[in-house]
Amino acid sequence: MAFFRTLIRRLTNSESAKNTKPGAAKEASSHLTMQHVLKVKGNKGLPSAAQLRAFPEILSKKERLVASFAALGLVVFGFLAVWFGVNGGRTLVPAPGGELTEGLLGQPQTINPLYALANDIDVDLSRLVYNGLMRYDGTGNVIPDLAESYTISEDGLTYTFTIRDDVKWHDGEQFSVNDVIFMYQAIQAPGYRSPFAPNFDGVSFVQIDEKTIEITREEAFAPFISQLTIGILPAHLWGSVNPLQAHLAELNTKPIGTGPYRFERLTKDSGGTIRTYTMKRYANYHLGGPYLQRLNFKLYSDSASAADALRNNNVESISFIANEDRVAFRNQAGNTMYMPYQRQYTAAFFNLDRDSAISTKRVREALMSAIDTSSITDEILYGFGKPIDSFILLGTPGYLEEVRPSYPYDRSIAAEYLVAAGWDLQEGNAVRTNGDAALTLELVTLNAPELLAVSDELKRQWAEVGVDVSIRSVDFTTLQADILQNRNYDILLSGEQYGIDADPYAFWHSSQTEAPGLNLSAFRNRNADSEIIAGQEAISYEDRETAYRNLQELVLEDAPALFLYQPAYAYVAPKRIQGITMELITAPADRFSQIHEWYIKTRRSRE
């Protein structure tokens, strides 16, 4: 206050000098002095308005600078006091608002969980509209969705579900047990021709009460719980639709579900092709959120057109990014690249039934030890994948971070194995021989850029240990009709993808060695078959893990395939969208498994 007292004295003297007329100073002195004292008291020690107007005139340059900083400090202090008073103890939380525009490939046909299987765009949109009793959480785990809770009987045959009572359909109708029973019986009904029908063979459904349904199987089957991630249809709308005409119903393109987003509108061109498809947030979504106000989808006929749209900012994300574009989009300003691993693997499958050098285990072991798989993931996949040693993958039962390195990369060991198998490398020769026979093998693969690049790298690395490999690329029709049907290959470079459950039966059970089975190595082992069945019938997750780890040991011991890599899915989204988490996906549509948590806008909350 000393500064202000000095200021007041100066202001007093200044005003007295201005307002005193010549000859009247003595008379007015006492009156003016008292007047200023009264004014100071009236302002509780602070200068009057008149005094403040005279402020600049009585201060030195240094004093004016000090006063300016003091005034600024008071303003800032006042602002912070008000701000903390209002927002103190509050945190930022997601709030509704904002939109995402994404490019999709293809045309919607049946946005219907009864059928959405082969068409990626149908699967994408169905995932946003519908919910199942169970769902994936984005890390490979199956957790309750429309179900509030569930139990499984000790014999693994009976599943008892209690459904949530806070779920409503997009049209406002209450979700019920009747909807669940209708959906599963529709899958079983021949008239609907659902591709999921085999998953529900020998399954019965009983309503216990308004919130409880009992599902019973004839045989225990651990993967069954994942089948219940299939979306549920509203019985009050689909019950009146003729099953034979169900695929033609308007509800297939203008669906009504319980999911986080509801159909809003679509636009078509003059030829009837759908060009845009818009979905709006469902404010009553039972899992909370969603926060993004709208999802605007633009439809493209091919990946190149969709990629151009992303480059030109006509869309903010696309459902598929070709390998050659991934690096560029990963470094694109304003975007974030998400790379969740897929539940599939790429391997070079050795045909154990083939009458060639490949039938010798030591040769197969040598081929495995000769390959540096990290060079493939680094130089061909540009990091969009991870080297693997097994078909038991990250996010599947039985996975181990470190698998027994049965055939580690070491070309000197590969050479020793080949010599032990009778294949010598004569001086001056590039290819090993055994008598008059040269070590020549044929590798067959699909005519796809990634597989062809991997084939060339395998050929190059095998040549360095004296193995001559020729490459034959085929189209998809030839692959199905000849190569797979007749098992016509020494080595087949291919990928195998798990379905909604990581059940290895189709890929490694002895019954699947002939077409249309997918045991591509013709691997046969009764003990392995027993472990596969044990995994299917396991009641506990721990028992299933044990069975699959035992299976893994049996398969790796016989060296039927060179496991190369687990690919990563590439998804670009604008950085302004927060809350995106995706670690593992089975299909591209799984990128939406947690979309109700994505957000742009925020608000402050004391919660």
Residues 161 and 286 in one domain: yes
Distance CA 571, CA 140 (A): 17
Residues 79 and 104 in one domain: no
- Bin 374: left if φ > 0, else alpha if -120 < ψ < 50, else beta: alpha
**409 within 8 A of 367, measured Cβ to Cβ:** no
Among 510, 535, 514, which Cα is nearest to 525's? 510
Among 198, 200, 202, 207, which Cα is nearest to 179's? 207
Residues of the chain with pLDDT under 70: 1-64, 66-67, 69, 71, 76, 78-90, 404-406, 606-607
Residues 277 and 316 in one domain: yes
Distance CA 297, CA 277 (A): 5
pLDDT score for 53:
61
User: Could you tell me the residue range of the domain that residue 406 belongs to?
Assistant: 341-567
| Orientation of helix 25-42 relative to helix 2-19, angle to 10° | 140
Residue 78 lies in a domain: yes
pLDDT score for 482:
94
Residues 504 and 599 in one domain: no
Where would I find the H helices in 117-161? 120-129
From 87, 115, 145, give the residue that closes a domain.
87
Task: Give the CATH number, domain containing residue 377.
Answer: 3.10.105.10
Residue 316 lies in a domain: yes
Residue 10 lies in a domain: yes
Residue 40 lies in a domain: yes
Residue 418 lies in a domain: yes
Residues 39 and 109 in one domain: no
Provide the whole-model pTM: 0.80
Residue 92 lies in a domain: no
From 34, 63, 87, give the residue that closes a domain.
87
The tokens of 502 are what? 């990581």
Residues 464 and 490 in one domain: yes
Residues 162 and 17 in one domain: no
Residues 589 and 558 in one domain: no
Residue-by-residue DSSP string for 259-314? SSEEEEEEEE-TTS-EEEEEEEE-TT-TTS----SEEEEEEESSHHHHHHHHHTTS
pLDDT score for 24:
46
Characterize the bridge pairing of strands 142-144 and 158-163.
Answer: unpaired
pLDDT score for 26:
43
From 61, 87, 113, give the residue that closes a domain.
87
Residues 6+ apart with CB under 8 A from 267: 274, 275, 276
- Bin 280: left if φ > 0, else alpha if -120 < ψ < 50, else beta: beta
Residue 371 lies in a domain: yes
Distance CA 412, CA 389 (A): 20
Distance CA 128, CA 592 (A): 7
Residues 309 and 415 in one domain: no
Residues 301 and 385 in one domain: no
Greatest alpha-carbon span in the chain = 137
Residue 93 lies in a domain: no
Residues 438 and 534 in one domain: yes
Task: Give the CATH number, domain containing residue 215.
Answer: 3.40.190.10
Residues 509 and 558 in one domain: yes
Sheet holding 317-318, edge to edge: 261-268, 274-281, 294-300, 99-105, 317-318
DSSP code at position 175? P
Q: Give the total number of structural domains in the chain.
A: 3
